[in-house]
Amino acid sequence: MTIIRSFETEIEPKKFSKKYIILTLAAIFALVIVEIWVNNTLLIYGEKFDNLSNIEKNLKLENQILENQIARETSLEKLSSKSAELGFTQAQDVKYIP
Is residue 91 in some structural domain? no
Is residue 10 in some structural domain? no
Average pLDDT value for residue range 28-57 = 96
Is residue 88 in some structural domain? no
Q: pTM for the complete prediction? A: 0.51
* pLDDT recorded at residue 92: 81
What values do phi and psi take at 26, rounded to 5?
-65, -40
Is residue 50 in some structural domain? yes
* pLDDT recorded at residue 77: 86
Q: Report pLDDT digits (tens) over 3-34.
A: 666 666 666 666 768 899 899 999 999 999 99
Q: Which range marks the domain in which residue 22 is found?
A: 18-76
Residue type, 96: Y
Is residue 62 in some structural domain? yes
| Percent of the chain whose predicted confidence (pLDDT) is above 90 | 51
Residue 72 contacts residue 78 (beta carbons within 8 Å): yes
Is residue 36 in some structural domain? yes
pLDDT band at 74 (very low <50, low <70, confident <90, very high): confident
Rounded to an integer, what distance in angstroms lies between the CA atom of residue 85 and that of residue 70? 20
More confident residue, 41 or 77: 41
Query: Mean pLDDT for the chain?
Result: 87
Residue 40 contacts residue 33 (beta carbons within 8 Å): no
